Amino acid sequence: MKDQITAEEWFSSGSRVIYDPVTNKIVERAENANVAGEIHVWKRVERNAARNNQESWTTFLPGFPDGSFGWAKVDQQLNQNSMLPKLYVEYVGQGDSDKPSRYSYGTMERADLVEATWEAEGRMRRSGFVRNSYVRHLAGRKHLPIVELKPAA
């Protein structure tokens, strides 16, 4: 396995997309068409072209304080063994996402962002979560299944 991925490598492997917190949507605009109130958030999508994108996905929710970068080493191991589509989301205020001063950094806002990211993927029918204890309340709010990683013995 390759050495630990750097933060620069991790964030360059994803993309910054525009999130409109008023409509709770990921929107597409020309790069130079900034609209007041829109926020850039980071996400990383990995699809396996040989598989059906309508199958179950795995969504990796960021922890605190490391954000999605906390999944970088896990992702390296999964890439060797996993064929499932994966979605990594970075909350507003973490990692390579914007950090606006006038934004409500709450649980509901995080859940809305995750739902908007799912919706933007279009063909996603269902997703399990992988999370750490910090985001447990988010998964509980939406009554969605939680996948827990157990440390190796």
- Which CATH number characterizes residue 104's domain? 3.40.50.1820
Contact (CB, 8 A) for 39 and 100:
yes
**64 belongs to a structural domain:** yes
**Per-residue model confidence as pLDDT tens digits over 86-118:** 899 999 998 899 999 888 888 899 999 999 998
**2 belongs to a structural domain:** no
Quick one: DSSP state of residue 97?
A: S
**152 belongs to a structural domain:** no
Indicate the average pLDDT of the chain.
79
**125 belongs to a structural domain:** yes
pTM, whole model, 2 decimals? 0.76
Identity of residue 105: Y
**153 belongs to a structural domain:** no
**72 belongs to a structural domain:** yes
* Enclosing domain of residue 47: 7-147
**142 belongs to a structural domain:** yes
| Residue 14 to residue 42: CA distance in whole angstroms | 7
**Per-residue model confidence as pLDDT tens digits over 122-152:** 767 778 888 765 555 555 555 555 555 555 5
Contact (CB, 8 A) for 97 and 39:
yes
Please tell me the total count of domains within the chain: 1
Cis amide leading into 100 (omega within 30): no
